[in-house]
Structure 1
Amino acid sequence: MASEPGVARPASTILLLREGASDAIEVFMMVRHYQIEFASGALVFPGGSVDAGDHEIIGRPELYAGSDGLDATTLSFRIAAIRETFEESRILLARLRGSDDLIPAARAAEIADAHRDALNEGKISFAQILADNGLVLALDLLVPYAHWITPEGMKKRFDTWFFLAAAPPEQLGMHDGKESTDSIWLSPREALEGGDNGRFTLPFPTTRSLIKLGKQPGVQSALDHARASTIVTVMPVVSRDGDKRQLRIPAEAGYDGEVFEMTGAP
């Protein structure tokens, strides 16, 4: 979905969570291809822009569940979150029509093998994949976590909703080798340590989200805490202090501070 230069494009991302082997929460992350224009080489959560096909799915309520009380704009963010996650990671948050259980991992893999490349190349719509395979998007599994808007004055801007979701059992995820070059399950602590020692490049919203997530002892506690929290929209304000750039965000957003030194992408 095209947007005017400087206008924030609607986008969504999902923090897919699972319990780690050492009882630490783990999140699925991907390394963006170095030739991608936005956040090249960065370690990020799967996600991307809302597109016209996401809005078309809204008009087909048989293709999704968990829409009670949600307006069209909110639905478009959630649909895009699941579609982009499938495109980028093969992980599919959906149920077979008539079932209360998430689609089995083996069936999700079959659908990804058959359709993910064609979907990424625009040869098939997400709506068609859902309809042909009798799938219903599990929008009810997405828990709103954060809302970030790229600072004004930047050439490429996004209006991004972050969601939490428990990862479907046995769906391990895999990068596509095009938009992303690697994928990994790791704890927030490991991701942040990688950012500190240069192993990873972490965008500022990603760093703050990982710090917040790392305070939770497990998946269920993270989901419960998010459900009970009020989301404060964050659009950082960039300023200079001598030769340093700083980002100012609302203290009430809950990111342990208000002014931060800018060391990466805002």
Structure 2
Amino acid sequence: MSTEQVPTPPEAFPAATVVIIRDGDNGLETLLLQRAAAIKFAGGAWVFPGGRVDEADYGDDHTDIESASRRAAARECVEEAGVTVAPDQLVACAHWTTPTNERKRFATSFYICAIDKDTPVTIDEGEIVAHQWMAPQKALDDHHQEGLALLPPTYITLWELAQSHNTEEALNFYRERPLRRHLPNLIVGEITRDVLGNAGAVTLYEEDAGYKTGDIRETDTMHRSVMTDKGWQYIKTI
């Protein structure tokens, strides 16, 4: 019997992200920020405003992670985009925890908030180097066709947003849907080369048939993101 121990995953730090949306001239738009290329985590990627929950975000109650996450989300909106939102305005839309085999991990509360069309955006030009308002489907198309760098949680959130025509529809969708918590199983290496024919990656979500075993050949029920030469492809057969 093997006595080899499974390494303990790195701690996942509490974090918060805000999906800022508005009604543009041609429908729903969301704010995307580009992280500086030199940043070790997700450098160069286009993301929603967000970051780690700081000590000061907890206030007097260090057990109230929900209130701390909302404060952190509102603070990050100001710091990264110059946009002020109230913590109680935020609608919880998902919770994402970085896969256990990643070196840097976050347990991130995702919120969504609508703002007026004319609200100005001011980036810090340090950690954040660019911003743009985009229709969710346009962002997905640019990811596939132009190489717009997106992380899987951003990609899937954009895919969900693309189903709504305006901010009211998007907010109602998340208000009515039970909060989804994701701990993706990230699969990289030999099996992805054998099955996909390349050195890409696959992230499996809880409903996927291969989630528990990590076997991407289990395809009876699929809920996964697959990295291809055209970026992430989201597959959901449930």
TM surpasses 0.5: yes
1:221 deviates by 1.0
Distance in 2 of aligned mates of 1:198 and 1:58: 45
Query: Aligned in 2, Cα 1:185/1:57: closer, same or farther, shift over 3 Å?
Result: farther
Letter in 1 for 2:151: P
Query: Aligned in 2, Cα 1:218/1:174: closer, same or farther, shift over 3 Å?
Result: same
Letter in 1 for 2:227: M
**What is the aligned partner in structure 1 of residue 58 from structure 2?**
55
**What is the aligned partner in structure 2 of residue 184 from structure 1?**
132
Structure 1 segments of 4+ aligned residues over 3 angstroms from their partners: 262-265
**What is the aligned partner in structure 2 of residue 6 from structure 1?**
10
1:25 is paired with a residue whose SS is strand
1:147 is paired with a residue whose SS is strand
8 Å Cα contact 1:14-1:45 kept in structure 2: yes
**What is the aligned partner in structure 2 of residue 25 from structure 1?**
28
Distance in 2 of aligned mates of 1:177 and 1:74: 29
| Deviation string, structure 1 residues 29-65 (Cα, Å, up to 9, x no partner) | 1010001111100010011000011012769xxxxxx
Letter in 2 for 1:30: L
**What is the aligned partner in structure 2 of residue 65 from structure 1?**
none
Query: Aligned in 2, Cα 1:186/1:155: closer, same or farther, shift over 3 Å?
Result: same
2:133 is paired with a residue whose SS is strand
The correspondence for 1:262, drawn from 227, 233, 238, is 227
1:154 deviates by 0.9
Query: Aligned in 2, Cα 1:238/1:26: closer, same or farther, shift over 3 Å?
Result: same
2:181 is paired with a residue whose SS is coil
Letter in 1 for 2:203: L
Number of residues paired by the alignment? 203
Distance in 2 of aligned mates of 1:18 and 1:260: 27
8 Å Cα contact 1:13-1:45 kept in structure 2: yes
Q: Using structure 2 for the length normalisation, give the TM-score.
A: 0.79
**What is the aligned partner in structure 1 of residue 207 from structure 2?**
251
1:78 aligned onto 2:43: no
Query: Aligned in 2, Cα 1:141/1:262: closer, same or farther, shift over 3 Å?
Result: same
1:251 is paired with a residue whose SS is coil
1:259 deviates by 2.7
8 Å Cα contact 1:5-1:156 kept in structure 2: no
**What is the aligned partner in structure 1 of residue 87 from structure 2?**
139
8 Å Cα contact 2:15-2:51 kept in structure 1: yes
**What is the aligned partner in structure 1 of residue 235 from structure 2?**
none
Distance in 1 of aligned mates of 2:24 and 2:222: 28
Q: Using structure 1 for the length normalisation, give the TM-score.
A: 0.71
Q: Name whichever structure is richer in strand by fraction.
A: 2
8 Å Cα contact 2:16-2:69 kept in structure 1: yes
**What is the aligned partner in structure 1 of residue 42 from structure 2?**
39
1:6 is paired with a residue whose SS is coil
Equivalent residues in 2 for 1:90-239, closer than 5 Å: 90-93=82-85, 138-168=86-116, 170-239=118-187
1:200 deviates by 1.3
Query: Aligned in 2, Cα 1:168/1:75: closer, same or farther, shift over 3 Å?
Result: farther
Distance in 1 of aligned mates of 2:133 and 2:84: 16
User: Runs of 5+ in structure 1 lacking a partner?
Assistant: 60-70, 94-137
Letter in 1 for 2:75: R
Distance in 1 of aligned mates of 2:175 and 2:136: 20
| Deviation string, structure 1 residues 47-103 (Cα, Å, up to 9, x no partner) | 1000011012769xxxxxxxxxxx71100110000001100000011xxxxxxxxxx
How high is the sequence identity, in percent, across the aligned residues?
A: 31
Distance in 1 of aligned mates of 2:167 and 2:34: 23
| Deviation string, structure 1 residues 149-169 (Cα, Å, up to 9, x no partner) | 100021101101111101145
8 Å Cα contact 2:94-2:181 kept in structure 1: yes
Query: Aligned in 2, Cα 1:20/1:157: closer, same or farther, shift over 3 Å?
Result: same
**RMSD (Å) for aligned C-alpha atoms:** 2.3
1:197 deviates by 1.6
Query: Aligned in 2, Cα 1:25/1:169: closer, same or farther, shift over 3 Å?
Result: closer
